[in-house]
Amino acid sequence: MKPKLMLVTEKGMQEFIPLTRYEELQMRFEKLSSEEKTQKEEKEKLYTMSRVLKIFKTSRPTIYAWEKKGILHPIRIEGRVYFKADDVDKMIDSKR
C-alpha cells in the first residue's frame, strides 16, 4: 500500500495528490493563454468620442483635425465614432 500525505486545511483533512508534470505544464499554459487573451482584449478596447474628449481635454473640432492629419483613426459603427485604445495610448505617450 502506498502511503498517503494528508493536509489539514480550512476544509478539514484532505489528501495531497501531486500533479503530474503534464498537468503542471498544462496549468501554466492555460494561465499564460488567459493573460495573453486579457492583453489582447485591452488592445482591442474602444473609446467613445466623449471619453477621448475628456482624456485630452479638448473639443470635437480638434479631434476631427487630428483625424484629418492622420493622428487618430476613428472607427464608425452605426453613426457612432470610436477610437482604438491603443491609438489613444500612443498619442498620450507621444505628448509626454
Q: What's the whole-model pTM score?
A: 0.53
Three cell numbers written together for 84: 482604438
Within 8 A by CB and 6+ apart from 20, the residues are none
The size of the chain, in residues, is 96
Per-residue pLDDT tens digits for 22-79: 677 777 778 777 766 665 655 568 899 999 999 999 999 999 999 999 888 898 888 8
Per-residue pLDDT tens digits for 77-94: 888 889 988 888 888 888
